[in-house]
Structure 1
Amino acid sequence: MKIIALEEHFVVPELMDAWHDGPDATEEDSALERARRVQRALLDTGEQRIADMDDQGVDVQVLSLTSPGVQNLPAPDAVSLARQANEALAGVVAGHPDRFQGFAAIPTPDPAAAAAELERAVATLGFPGALINGRTGDLSMDSRVFDDLYGVAERLGAPLYLHPQAPTAPVRDAYYSGFGDLDFILSSPAIGWHYETGMQFLRMAIGGVFDRHPGMQVVLGHWGELVLFYLDRAQPVLEQAGLHLQRPLSEVVRENVWVTGSGILSERYYRWACEVVGADRIMTATDYPYIDNSGGAARTFVEGLPATEADRTATASGNWERLTGRRAGQSSPNA
């Protein structure tokens, strides 16, 4: 069983410098400084990473810049660093085409450049899609300034992975402060990231993004970023309040959303995701290097899922290959 993992992170040194030098440096950046092991793993795209993949039981990683990526940089820096990171990633993939694929970094602070970079990344560099870390500064993903970007994604059949970043400072202060060293954890990996990303998807849906781009496909990690678990609540109350979309929200979720577990090895969450979106829209991710899937844990989880062999194989790699138009045996993103 080939396992392709989708939420697998790396970083380039120039981007880390930009985060630290920027006026809006966040606790995410200082957390990377504190976690030297994670930092080394993010910077490594060679032998140690491949050894870790082998230990997890993962055959292919789809690499992406770690959060917050280029989403909160000044527009000129975001454009240049996204291009630089994508060029570097293309080189990594070319060096190990049987082990790596890539999600493009997209410079959303410059919406026109973002659309152009997605076009270049897919058509020229051969990436199958892109990863966006939620908001761009204070601008949410439902803004119409991103319609050209979404139009390119739809036309090229390039899925967009919607990835978490930290909530804005006022949200962190209001909801996640007062617990000392736990503040950052509470506002980010414990639950804050997932409210943040789920709201970005809901804003996209409520704001008509999928009405305007009905063929665009997005991927939500962490078993749907809470959206799947509250869909039966959100749809009726929004419709009662006057929400009018071309398709019901539940239909948008079933037809435009794909789900990964992001290293959360939960059979309960898998079963729930199957009920909401179907087994043919669930894929694998380990959230490397943040989640420990060592000792073959990633493979053991997929191979032991409470599902048919066909559904397990689809979750392992088949759904990703179908989403990106691949067939078994085509390992290079340039194929």
Structure 2
Amino acid sequence: MVEIIDCETHYFTEPYLEVLRGRTTPPRQEVHDGIRRCFPEPSAPEVAFSYPAVLEERLLDLSDARIETLDEEGISAQVVSLTVPGTEFFEPKLGVTQARDCNDMLGAAVSRHPERLIGLATLPAFDGEASAAELERCVTELGFRGANIHSHVGDMNLDDRRLWPIFEAAQRLGVPINIHPTLPHGSMLGPYLGYGWTLAGRGLGFGHEVAVQVSRMIFGGVFDAYPDLQLMLGHCGEGLPFWMYRLDFPYIKPYIDVLGEHPKLDRKPSEYLTDNCWYNCSGNFFTPALLACIHAVGADRVLFGSDYPYESYPEARQFLETAPLSAPDRRKFASENAKRLFGLGS
């Protein structure tokens, strides 16, 4: 089998969980026997998702046991980021200290296994300047290969100018940013409520949330300001490859925008999705979705991702091995594109 780099996996730390469990407002966590209840979104404090304690045990593992799992499953390396809820959701001062602490613990694991673990920085994104400084520290001192931020930050959308120092730093350092979904903001949650986490989370809420926020980055001029900025998106692109033609509508059909109200961009929206975004298959092991993504953006932009430990390696591996791809494209999907994106081997 070809070399495999898993572009989306996650972790927690014990000190971070202690902070979450000591809070009375989101982000916070409750412990109920063998179940964990996570309340991630301050604007929707009653909405939670649950998962078994055994899953948390795997999230907490940054030891040699994680490397043994990689060996058993035939995985060459993992890209590792802090799971939901991220440090962005804390109050600014607490976010700075928690981001640094989590990054230091991940950095220690990366230093023990530099060929097997690829770190993504967690950031205190309420303060763009502090976040940019933390990203630079993680890249230059801890050897991280990018950053992980969630799909909104408090009341800020991702096109908010206060976040642009993060994008400037990522472009300058030559590292990508992973946009990970979280629960939609409380102001957008109404239509999702009534079905627990099923609709608001993994069903549709996550995908809608990222698709809207990345579109805002495009229409807000983030990529015109930082044309070399690269994003990684999970779940085969959160539906964005499907929407490319429709996002282009005001730019390719002038009668749609007779008043000239659409944002003035250097390129069509679809071009940012093909030139500034990469797409991993984490948690979306659905062949039509993968093929649609490849047809839309090309085989040079797709990446293997498992979403470990939320998803199982046997299922992810089977998807990789049986997808109807040519041998060269399967190698790109499995590891070659990841090496280019994360500058591995350079």
TM-score w.r.t. length of structure 1: 0.90
Structure 2 counterpart of 1:323: 341
- The residue type paired with residue 164 of structure 1 is P
Q: Which runs of 5+ in 2 are unaligned?
A: 30-36, 40-47
1:239-265 Cα offsets, whole Å, 9 max, x none, are 734232111101111100100011322
SS of 1:270's equivalent in the other structure is: helix
Instruction: Compute the displacement of 1:225 (Å).
Output: 0.9
Change over 3 Å in CA distance of 1:56–1:73 after alignment to 2 = same
Distance in 1, matches of 2:57 and 2:175, equals 30
Structure 1 counterpart of 2:9: 8
Runs of 4+ in 1 over 6 A off after TM superposition: none
Q: After the TM superposition, which residues 101-250 of structure 1 pair with which residues of structure 2 at under 5 Å, given as runs?
A: 101-172=118-189, 174-179=190-195, 183-237=196-250, 240-241=256-257, 242-250=262-270
Structure 1 counterpart of 2:113: 96
Change over 3 Å in CA distance of 1:88–1:32 after alignment to 2 = farther
Instruction: Compute the displacement of 1:18 (Å).
Output: 2.9
What is the count of residue pairs matched by the alignment?
Answer: 322
SS of 1:71's equivalent in the other structure is: helix
- The residue type paired with residue 46 of structure 1 is S
Identity, % of aligned positions: 34
1:279-318 Cα offsets, whole Å, 9 max, x none, are 0011111001111233xx3333223332221211111111
SS of 1:135's equivalent in the other structure is: coil
Instruction: Compute the displacement of 1:26 (Å).
Output: 6.3
Structure 1 counterpart of 2:89: 72
Change over 3 Å in CA distance of 1:8–1:175 after alignment to 2 = same
RMSD over aligned Cα, in angstroms?
A: 1.9
- The residue type paired with residue 191 of structure 2 is Y
Contact 1:33 1:39 in 2 (8 A): no
SS of 1:29's equivalent in the other structure is: strand
Distance in 1, matches of 2:340 and 2:131, equals 25
- The residue type paired with residue 326 of structure 2 is T
1:86-130 Cα offsets, whole Å, 9 max, x none, are 111111111222321111111101211001011111111111111
Contact 1:176 1:187 in 2 (8 A): yes
Distance in 1, matches of 2:63 and 2:219, equals 42
SS of 2:313's equivalent in the other structure is: coil
Distance in 1, matches of 2:72 and 2:212, equals 35
Q: Which has the higher contact order (CA 8 A, sep 6+)?
A: 1
Q: Which runs of 5+ in 1 are unaligned?
A: 328-334
Contact 2:300 2:337 in 1 (8 A): yes
Distance in 2, matches of 1:26 and 1:88, equals 20
Distance in 2, matches of 1:19 and 1:225, equals 28
- The residue type paired with residue 168 of structure 1 is H
